[in-house]
């Protein structure tokens, strides 16, 4: 076959875009080169339905070792008893989890998408809101913090089978103990989707959900800085409460139900090239260097929130405990959409985001979500946050001025040369 230069040129163009821009999408990051390399290997050729040691195809002895390594490493990272590393994405992990523990029509209770939650936590446009009966809690209008009273009241009234915590656009830590308390009272499972904050949790920089949540899911490509993918974890395996038995009449454990819900429940062959990349990333998570990185993420987020606040930007909840912040632009009279599109042209990438109690549609929004995991991977420190916020502020405060956008774009490109990305590639 001839080399497909058309596609490779586009791939190179994307690499240059990533190199020259400031990446502030809170859910993105830059994997290590070895994580990327693992994904472009012969492992992509292999079918391996099943699990290590119990596959439906021959020739799985090598991928068995790789997948087991990924499982063992992530169990060590979070000190937990069970891990499934096959979900192709966070949404797939969440779908499998819900398939394993719910019946169609069961009630679920999650954080409203418009208040910082996630599509797969019961949104009516997602399977989770179509197959199950969703109820929501929100954040408080006066301080932007999770409204635990609302969560408790709704749980007591509706008695959901599942309470979901974890968020996509919430900058504060979560009180898992309080959620578990009401869940026990009403007989619900608790599931934490820690996709955004997993890296901080891994290094003990945020509360851990593991002692309080029956199930924990995550993506592997956000703060965990691995390849795109998902995982399902349990601190402790337990006997499933649904009475399901195996062919020998033994009670199946939750781990069996979860494994079965991933394959064959919602997926076919696992992506062993991605699982190899996960194994590498999980090895990186175990290092002290990764701990230093996560501490810097938290410091950078706090430094950035401070500079935004000094410039009169309204940060929901007044600051951040984690890697991101949600900014309400209504006092600046700019929509999230306009901000995102204009900053994009200055090579500053972030996303528009609804703010709690937003009066604009999700396509327009009143806010932007800003995250620092990717720029911290590039090597930025607290002082650099001032420069980044200054770039953003110059564009937003002069939003229709082409000359400002062009000038900032050039300055961003020069600034980013100090922070090499995949040098030599
Ligand atoms: N797309 C992810 C995010 O940006 O938070 C959620 O799945």
Q: Are residues 314 and 267 in the same domain?
A: no
Q: Residue 47 catalytic?
A: yes
Q: Say yes or no: CB of residue 255 within 6 Å of ligand 1.
A: no
Identify whether 46 is part of a domain. yes
Q: Are residues 270 and 302 in the same domain?
A: no
Identify whether 355 is part of a domain. yes
Domain boundary among 285, 307, 334: 285
For residue 83, what is the enclosing H or E element?
strand 82-84
pLDDT class of 423 with cuts at 50, 70, 90: confident
Tokens of 339: 């901000």
Identify whether 21 is part of a domain. no
Q: Say yes or no: CB of residue 371 within 6 Å of ligand 1.
A: no
Q: Output the pLDDT for position 286.
A: 98
For 37-58, what is the mean pLDDT?
Answer: 98
pLDDT class of 314 with cuts at 50, 70, 90: very high
For the chain, the distance separating the N- and C-terminal CA atoms, rounded to the nearest angstrom, is: 23
Q: Residue 384 catalytic?
A: no
Q: How far is CA 211 from the centre of its chain?
A: 20
- Indicate whether 246 pLDDT > 80: no
Q: Are residues 336 and 307 in the same domain?
A: yes
- Length of the chain, in residues: 425
- Indicate whether 244 pLDDT > 80: no
Contact 264, 257 (CB under 8 A): no
pLDDT class of 421 with cuts at 50, 70, 90: very high
Q: Whole domain around residue 389: which residue ranges?
A: 293-416
Closest CA to 306 of 379, 389, 381: 389
What is the spatial distance between Cα 425 and Cα 418, in angstroms, rounded to a whole number? Answer: 16
Q: Are residues 309 and 254 in the same domain?
A: no
Q: Are residues 211 and 307 in the same domain?
A: no
What is the spatial distance between Cα 259 and Cα 266, in angstroms, rounded to a whole number? Answer: 10
Question: What CATH number should be reported for the domain holding residue 347?
Answer: 3.90.1150.10
For 2-27, what is the mean pLDDT?
Answer: 98
Q: Output the pLDDT for position 424.
A: 81
Identify whether 397 is part of a domain. yes
Q: Are residues 356 and 323 in the same domain?
A: yes
Identify whether 28 is part of a domain. no
Identify whether 18 is part of a domain. no
Distance 118 CA to ligand 1 centre (A): 8
Q: Are residues 266 and 297 in the same domain?
A: no
For 172-184, what is the mean pLDDT?
Answer: 98
Catalytic residue among 112, 152, 193, 328: 193
Question: What CATH number should be reported for the domain holding residue 203?
Answer: 3.40.640.10
What is the spatial distance between Cα 104 and Cα 134, in angstroms, rounded to a whole number? Answer: 11
Distance 222 CA to ligand 1 centre (A): 9
Q: Nearest-5° angle of CA 275, CA 206, CA 92?
A: 35
Q: Model confidence over 349-389: pLDDT tens digits? A: 999 999 999 999 999 999 999 999 999 999 999 999 999 99
Distance 27 CA to ligand 1 centre (A): 6
Q: Output the pLDDT for position 242.
A: 83
Q: Say yes or no: CB of residue 27 within 6 Å of ligand 1.
A: yes
What is the spatial distance between Cα 326 and Cα 315, in angstroms, rounded to a whole number? Answer: 6
Q: Residue 106 catalytic?
A: no
Closest CA to 144 of 193, 111, 182: 111
Domain boundary among 255, 285, 315: 285
Radius of gyration in angstroms for the set of CA atoms belonging to the chain, rounded to a whole number: 22
Identify whether 111 is part of a domain. yes
Q: Model confidence over 112-170: pLDDT tens digits? A: 999 999 999 999 999 999 999 999 999 999 999 999 999 999 999 999 999 999 999 99
**pTM of the prediction?**
0.97
Q: Say yes or no: CB of residue 90 within 6 Å of ligand 1.
A: yes
Q: Say yes or no: CB of residue 94 within 6 Å of ligand 1.
A: no
Contact 121, 96 (CB under 8 A): no
Q: Are residues 43 and 161 in the same domain?
A: yes
Q: How far is CA 401 from CA 199, 342, 345, 391, 414, in A?
A: 39, 10, 12, 14, 21
Q: Are residues 260 and 383 in the same domain?
A: no
Q: Are residues 303 and 247 in the same domain?
A: no
Region for residue 124 given its phi and psi (left: phi exceeds 0; alpha: psi -120 to 50; beta: otherwise): alpha
Contact 419, 380 (CB under 8 A): yes
Q: Are residues 235 and 346 in the same domain?
A: no
Q: How many domains does the chain have?
A: 2
Q: Output the pLDDT for position 381.
A: 98
Identify whether 373 is part of a domain. yes
Q: b/e per residue, 258-288, with b = 16+ CB within 10 A?
A: bbbbbbeebbeebbbbbbbbbbbbbbbbeee
Q: Are residues 412 and 341 in the same domain?
A: yes
């Amino acid at each position: 076959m001839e080399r497909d230069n058309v596609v490779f040129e586009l791939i190179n163009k994307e690499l240059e875009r990533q190199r020259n821009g400031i990446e502030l999408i809170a859910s993105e990051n830059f994997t290590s080169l070895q994580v990327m390399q693992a994904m472009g290997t012969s492992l992509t050729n292999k079918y391996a339905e099943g699990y290590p040691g119990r596959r439906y195809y021959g020739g799985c002895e090598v991928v068995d070792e790789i997948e087991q390594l990924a499982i063992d490493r992530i169990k060590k990272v979070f000190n937990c008893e069970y891990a499934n590393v096959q979900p192709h994405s966070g949404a797939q992990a969440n779908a499998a989890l819900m398939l394993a523990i719910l019946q169609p029509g069961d009630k679920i209770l999650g954080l409203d998408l418009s208040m910082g939650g996630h599509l797969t936590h019961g949104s009516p446009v997602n399977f989770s809101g179509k197959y199950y009966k969703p109820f929501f809690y929100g954040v408080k209008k006066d301080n932007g913090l999770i409204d635990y009273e609302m969560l408790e009241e709704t749980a007591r009234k509706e008695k959901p089978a599942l309470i979901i915590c974890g968020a996509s656009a919430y900058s504060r830590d979560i009180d898992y103990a309080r959620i578990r308390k009401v869940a026990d009272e009403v007989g619900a499972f608790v599931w934490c989707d820690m996709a955004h904050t997993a890296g901080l949790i891994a290094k003990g920089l945020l509360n851990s959900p593991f002692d309080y949540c029956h199930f924990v899911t995550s993506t592997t490509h956000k703060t965990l800085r691995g390849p795109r993918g998902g995982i399902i974890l349990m601190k402790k395996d337990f006997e499933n409460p649904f009475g399901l038995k195996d062919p020998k009449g033994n009670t199946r454990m939750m781990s069996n139900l979860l494994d079965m819900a991933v394959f064959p429940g919602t997926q076919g062959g696992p992506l062993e090239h991605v699982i190899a990349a996960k194994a590498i990333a999980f090895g990186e998570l175990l290092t002290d260097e990764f701990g230093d990185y996560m501490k810097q993420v938290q410091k950078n987020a706090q430094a950035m929130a401070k500079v935004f606040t000094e410039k009169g930007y309204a940060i929901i909840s007044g600051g951040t405990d984690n890697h991101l912040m949600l900014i309400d632009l209504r006092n600046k009279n700019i929509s999230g959409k306009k901000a995102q599109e204009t900053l994009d042209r200055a090579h500053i990438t972030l996303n528009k985001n609804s703010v709690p109690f937003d009066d604009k549609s999700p396509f327009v929004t009143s806010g932007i979500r800003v995250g620092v995991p990717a720029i911290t991977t590039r090597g930025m420190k607290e002082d650099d946050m001032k420069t980044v916020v200054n770039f953003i502020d110059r564009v937003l405060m002069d939003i229709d001025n082409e000359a400002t956008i062009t000038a900032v774009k050039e300055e961003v490109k020069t600034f980013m040369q100090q922070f090499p990305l995949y040098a030599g590639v």
